[in-house]
Structure 1
Amino acid sequence: MCWIFQKGSNVQGLQTIATFDPLRDEFIIDTPNDGAIKWWIGNAAVHGKFATVFAKLMLPTHDTKGVSDMGVHAFIVPIRDMKTHEVLPGIEIHDCGHKVGLNGVDNGALKFRSVRIPRDNLLNRFGDVSRDGKYTSSLPSINKRFAATLGELVGGRVGLAYSSVGVLKIAVTIAVRYSLLRQQFGPPKQPEISILDYQSQQHKLMPMLASTYAFHFATSYLVEKYAEMKKSRDEELVSDVHTLSAGLKAYVTSYTAKSLSTCREACGGHGYAAVNRFGSLRNDHDIFQTFEGDNTVLLQQVAVYLLKQYKEKFQGGTLTVTWNYLRESMNTYLSQPNPVTSRWEGEDHLRNPNFQLDAFRYRTSRLLQSVAFRLRKHSKTLGGFGAWNRCLNHLLTLAESHIESVILAKFIEAVRSCPDVSSRAALKLVCDLYALDRIWNDIGTYRNVDYVAPNKAKAIHKLTEYLSFQVKNIAKELVDGFELPDHVTRAPIGMQAAEEAYSQYAQCSGF
């Protein structure tokens, strides 16, 4: 078994080296300093026998340099004896210690001191070294080889995005079921009402429920594209999936992390009980924001790709499927907002998917155009890195805006393709809430450029609250649609049979 690991987020700048020794036909793996130690390696501290190590491949030369850097490659390195399980010479392994969550995972840190491995231990799909030290590759540059090698790691991001939606489904299911069960206050001399009947509770949970459905369809699409990529290995598709997986992983895991706390608060004191799982879900999920790349770094990858597509549009290049709306956006979306449509406030117009998707894409297009202009301006005085850092928050907002556009597009497609009439109507309601809630949350952006007039902004807010109320009426059916049995949710207050919830909870508490 092998475990893939690398140093931090800057994989291309990692310091671990693998130097080829032609006399012994071996690579020598070295960790040059403590800053290059490999941390948080799954199964390393106790169980692992092999590791897949990313290192810079160094080949000896006959010039004054002595060695040539061929870029990052992957190597199979034994770390423990197969029979005795003893740590092999030259390898240091340490346990990463107690963690905030996921303490069932065996995480360790590794350091290599002149560890020798056979030449055949180079994973050579993208580059190979012959017995006499000659390097060959089907890819012409270090950057191309690096991109291809990194593409093999995309599966981790796809899995995290999809798994994060699963965690969000559990949390939302528990919170919604408890909110339907828990009764508190109400009109004088009348029965108490469920706390989900309160507008404030609907405001907390219904847009979150809508987002959960939106993320489900978006991550399902990502899984499909990933499977297609693995079969076809089409270069454009590899690049597309790499960027989309980075963006969805970052966006969805960040949203889920915040939502777990909201769900806990929505369940009051009972949400604080360990048996109802919000604490363990929050602690175990928290690292999702760091696994397979820090979310802030991943969003920057999305921004880089958007800027590349923006540049190619003006050079007459083709755009991949996920990004092709940018071609139209540079023409249609960035024209002056129509003073007539900016005032339309009818429900039919606001619930029209064309309006919703145009609004999302308009925002992304303006952000892309404005950040491209700012980068050009600041690079003249600050240089490339300084300009990027000056515009960093703008770039992150751009990346999030694009990912939201993709999510909405996939949700709209799912609604249109739903074969059952009643289910399609329910999904349309949820999709409208997702779209209008997002527009309202960033209403300042639309107001600043007169895309939405004051009366229309007010109508969007009012309709969002009404849609939350309507979604509340079918909230039970919507969470039941996740098909999470009680042994998966494992929270007494989130049981499917509401009449058993309090008795089960009381039993868990020792009554």
Structure 2
Amino acid sequence: MPTDVLRDLLDGRWADLRRTSRELLATVEPAPPGDLESQRARTFEQLRLLADGGHALTGFPKAYGGADDVGGSVVAFEVLGFGDLSLMVKAGVQWGLFGGAVQALGTQDHHDRYLPGIMSLAIPGCFAMTETGHGSDVQHLRTTATYDAETREFVVNTPDRDARKDYIGNAARDGRMAVVFAQLVSGGEEHGVHALMVPLRDEHGQALPGVSIEDCGPKAGLNGVDNGRISFDHVRVPRTELLNRYGDVAEDGTYSSPIDGAGRRFFTMLGTLVRGRISVAGGAGSATKKALALAVRYGEERKQFTRPDGEEVVVLDYLAHQRKLLPALAKTYALHFAQEELVSALHDVQDDRGKREVESRAAGIKAVATWHATETIQVCREACGGAGYLAENLLPQLKADTDVFTTFEGDNTVLLQLVAKGLLTSYRDHVGDLDALGMVRFVADQFVGVAIERTAARAIIARLVSGGDDGLLERGWQLRQLEFRETHVLEGLARRLKRAGAGDAFEVFNAAQDHVLHAARAHVDRVVMEAFVAGVDRCSDPGVAELLGKVCDLYALSVIEGDRGWFLEHGGLTAAGSKGVTQAVNGLCGELRGRVGELVEGFGIPEVWMRVGMVG
């Protein structure tokens, strides 16, 4: 069956793991509504079911009973996004953030002492990085860990209210220990942000001396996750609790590190935690798929108004309804293949350059995928009318639970700026500083590039005028358009920053933020498109490949349509071509209407997590 072929293709490299993860998730029954405490208690019970079912083993070392499968751990987390998102986030905090930090930043001593308990859930833990006054700006956190050579202990302290560890998952109810990120001070010198293991509660669940824990209380969503605030009043922990893979303190207080430079050391440490950012993108993708599956099922059954012959029309037969759901579905497919490539890169890459590329791509995909989730789930809610507003039909909870994804594991706007800065660095390394002659050549190249694109556009418009839209469906043209936009926007940004001169670097960059964000979005769109094309090419079934080819066309043309003002301004499209793009999008929506059920069935969402009242 085409759906089975489609599901196998989407399951990809970790197909067996996706299947077993779906089977495990299907055994975890959805919880009925309840008050805050019952939601938290139920989520912790479900977490134990995951631990007992082996969910946590995938990403941890074989020496401790794991599978050493980093990519697989992200995939297993993604699958949880089909179920209760509080459970997904709770699992991410325990095994992805808390356990992942111990694994990545600690040494064998920490692994021996902590990983078995973390994996089994005997040691519920927290990842205490974010502070009230510092979220994305991790490098300037204010919590301190000052070494006392006389007692061979670190003194962990919260100097003021802004330095509270804020919004920390597992803190309010269940956490027993925390990986605490703090400014390391030894021998009177500061050595930047490092991480330490700090106990929070005793065996009875009571906060330890010097540890203050506040409950963040009810949130808009994810209320099965017990977020809290943590403050430390000169809490002492042994020297051995420093996670010292990248920086260590000897008994006498001497600091050492295998990495020169505080800045380079800091970014190396954070780079080891990129798995969390990739996981959030995957989880957002799963939630988006679930929303689309719900909305498509509803749209295929809900009838509204009649045809001239008196037959009632299902709402998905209306172009306006197709326009709501099908381009969003196409982008969801595109992001799935981009996520798959990203997870494979995370799993395989070993060299520093490759790791930096993964970090940059992770930032971009996370931003675009979580914004897409927020937008698409709202569209799906509206597409289901009043039924979509009922809690029993899941969409309101999906909307509430995913809203925070745009700001945790990195605020999306900040992440796109990181992407753009990386692009500018690569551009500078490739092109170098443009002297007068270089600038002349650069402008000439730009003119030639625009002329080529205009010629291509005119050829396509000629075909449109003669009665066909095949030119817009040429994969090469679609890719060239996205490459053209990315290159042009980036080069324009480089010129803009160069013209601004070497004044106040902050003011120069701040004044160009609109351009910066456009460059990053253009880059991610091109990367996602190329991943989708590669996914279509991997499909060996001609019929499914043809179907996916149309979905890919819809994604590409929707992106171009969404920024057609830019393409018109810069010669990538003529006015007639712009109209042609819209006509082609409409046509593709009509062609895909009859296959949309197959497309959402291909996601393989467990039926136990799709039980709703609005559709059968």
Report if TM-score (shorter chain) is over 0.5.
Answer: yes
Deviation at 1:208, TM superposition (A): 0.8
CA contact (8 A) 1:57 1:70 kept: yes
Deviation at 1:492, TM superposition (A): 3.2
Query: Which one of 343, 354, 358 corresponds to residue 241 of structure 1?
Result: 358
CA contact (8 A) 1:337 1:451 kept: no
SS at match of 2:142: coil
What residue is the counterpart of 1:497 in the other structure? none
Cα displacement string for residues 477-499 of structure 1 (whole angstroms, at most 9, x for unaligned residues): 111111223212232335xxxxx
Deviation at 1:101, TM superposition (A): 0.5
Distance in 2 between the 1:448 and 1:395 partners?
Answer: 18
Cα displacement string for residues 330-373 of structure 1 (whole angstroms, at most 9, x for unaligned residues): 96897233232121224332112221111112111111111222
What residue is the counterpart of 2:370 in the other structure? 253
Change in CA separation of 1:258 and 1:33 when aligned onto 2, cut-off 3 Å: same
Q: In terms of mean alpha carbon deviation, does 49-58 or 348-357 score higher? A: 348-357
Alignment of 1:172-321 (within 5 A): 172-229=292-349, 232=350, 234-315=351-432
Q: In terms of mean alpha carbon deviation, does 5-14 or 485-494 score higher? A: 485-494
Letter of the structure 2 residue corresponding to residue 227 of structure 1: H
Q: In terms of mean alpha carbon deviation, does 346-355 or 386-395 score higher? A: 346-355
Distance in 2 between the 1:34 and 1:373 partners?
Answer: 43
Query: Which one of 540, 543, 549 corresponds to residue 428 of structure 1?
Result: 549
What residue is the counterpart of 1:107 in the other structure? 227
Letter of the structure 1 residue corresponding to residue 308 of structure 2: P
Alignment of 1:484-499 (within 5 A): 484-494=605-615
Letter of the structure 1 residue corresponding to residue 137 of structure 2: N
Distance in 1 between the 2:416 and 2:290 partners?
Answer: 26
**Is 1:55 equivalent to 2:182 in the alignment?**
yes
Q: In terms of mean alpha carbon deviation, does 281-290 or 178-187 score higher? A: 178-187
Change in CA separation of 1:379 and 1:470 when aligned onto 2, cut-off 3 Å: same
Query: Which one of 519, 523, 526 corresponds to residue 398 of structure 1?
Result: 519
Distance in 2 between the 1:155 and 1:16 partners?
Answer: 24
Letter of the structure 1 residue corresponding to residue 214 of structure 2: H
What residue is the counterpart of 2:498 in the other structure? 376
Letter of the structure 2 residue corresponding to residue 106 of structure 1: D
Deviation at 1:379, TM superposition (A): 4.8
CA contact (8 A) 1:367 1:398 kept: yes
**Is 1:439 equivalent to 2:560 in the alignment?**
yes
Query: Which one of 483, 491, 496 corresponds to residue 361 of structure 1?
Result: 483
Distance in 1 between the 2:362 and 2:612 partners?
Answer: 31
Deviation at 1:261, TM superposition (A): 1.1
Change in CA separation of 1:39 and 1:373 when aligned onto 2, cut-off 3 Å: same
C-alpha RMSD over aligned residues? 1.9
What residue is the counterpart of 1:37 in the other structure? 164
Deviation at 1:315, TM superposition (A): 4.2
Between the two proteins, what is the percent identity of the paired residues?
A: 39
Q: Could you list the runs of 4 or more consecutive aligned residues of structure 1 that deviate by over 6 angstroms after TM superposition?
A: 330-334
**Is 1:132 equivalent to 2:257 in the alignment?**
no
What residue is the counterpart of 2:3 in the other structure? none
**Is 1:165 equivalent to 2:288 in the alignment?**
no
CA contact (8 A) 1:164 1:285 kept: yes
CA contact (8 A) 1:334 1:362 kept: no
SS at match of 1:123: coil
Distance in 1 between the 2:497 and 2:234 partners?
Answer: 44
What residue is the counterpart of 2:577 in the other structure? 456
Letter of the structure 1 residue corresponding to residue 393 of structure 2: N
Deviation at 1:86, TM superposition (A): 2.2
CA contact (8 A) 1:205 1:263 kept: yes
Letter of the structure 2 residue corresponding to residue 341 of structure 1: A
Query: Which one of 126, 129, 147 corresponds to residue 3 of structure 1?
Result: 126
What residue is the counterpart of 1:506 in the other structure? none
What residue is the counterpart of 2:154 in the other structure? 27
Cα displacement string for residues 143-185 of structure 1 (whole angstroms, at most 9, x for unaligned residues): 1111111012211111110111100111101111111111222
What residue is the counterpart of 1:341 in the other structure? 456
Distance in 2 between the 1:165 and 1:69 partners?
Answer: 41
Gaps of 5+ in 2: 1-122, 434-441, 464-468
Distance in 2 between the 1:443 and 1:333 partners?
Answer: 20
Distance in 2 between the 1:39 and 1:274 partners?
Answer: 29
Change in CA separation of 1:43 and 1:436 when aligned onto 2, cut-off 3 Å: same
What residue is the counterpart of 1:91 in the other structure? 211
Deviation at 1:203, TM superposition (A): 0.8
Q: In terms of mean alpha carbon deviation, does 438-447 or 178-187 score higher? A: 178-187
What residue is the counterpart of 2:593 in the other structure? 472
Cα displacement string for residues 397-419 of structure 1 (whole angstroms, at most 9, x for unaligned residues): 21111111111000000111111
CA contact (8 A) 1:334 1:365 kept: no
Change in CA separation of 1:187 and 1:449 when aligned onto 2, cut-off 3 Å: same
CA contact (8 A) 1:27 1:118 kept: yes
Deviation at 1:254, TM superposition (A): 0.7
Deviation at 1:247, TM superposition (A): 1.0
Deviation at 1:85, TM superposition (A): 2.8
SS at match of 1:493: coil
What residue is the counterpart of 2:88 in the other structure? none
What residue is the counterpart of 2:78 in the other structure? none
Cα displacement string for residues 237-287 of structure 1 (whole angstroms, at most 9, x for unaligned residues): 221111111111111101110111111111112111111111000001111
* TM-score, structure 2 normalization: 0.74
Query: Which one of 539, 542, 545 corresponds to residue 418 of structure 1?
Result: 539
Q: In terms of mean alpha carbon deviation, does 370-379 or 29-38 score higher? A: 370-379
Deviation at 1:4, TM superposition (A): 1.6
Cα displacement string for residues 126-155 of structure 1 (whole angstroms, at most 9, x for unaligned residues): 111111222221111111111111012211
Letter of the structure 1 residue corresponding to residue 491 of structure 2: Q
Change in CA separation of 1:198 and 1:333 when aligned onto 2, cut-off 3 Å: farther
What residue is the counterpart of 1:319 in the other structure? none
SS at match of 1:283: helix
Letter of the structure 2 residue corresponding to residue 476 of structure 1: G
What residue is the counterpart of 2:144 in the other structure? 17
Change in CA separation of 1:426 and 1:387 when aligned onto 2, cut-off 3 Å: same
Cα displacement string for residues 397-447 of structure 1 (whole angstroms, at most 9, x for unaligned residues): 211111111110000001111110000000000000000011011011111
Distance in 2 between the 1:187 and 1:45 partners?
Answer: 57
Cα displacement string for residues 56-106 of structure 1 (whole angstroms, at most 9, x for unaligned residues): 11122xxxxxx211111111111112x333211111110011110111101
Alignment length (residue pairs):
473
* TM-score, structure 1 normalization: 0.89
Change in CA separation of 1:271 and 1:334 when aligned onto 2, cut-off 3 Å: farther
Letter of the structure 1 residue corresponding to residue 401 of structure 2: D
Distance in 1 between the 2:223 and 2:180 partners?
Answer: 24
Letter of the structure 2 residue corresponding to residue 225 of structure 1: A
Distance in 2 between the 1:261 and 1:441 partners?
Answer: 18
Distance in 1 between the 2:581 and 2:450 partners?
Answer: 21
Distance in 1 between the 2:448 and 2:344 partners?
Answer: 32
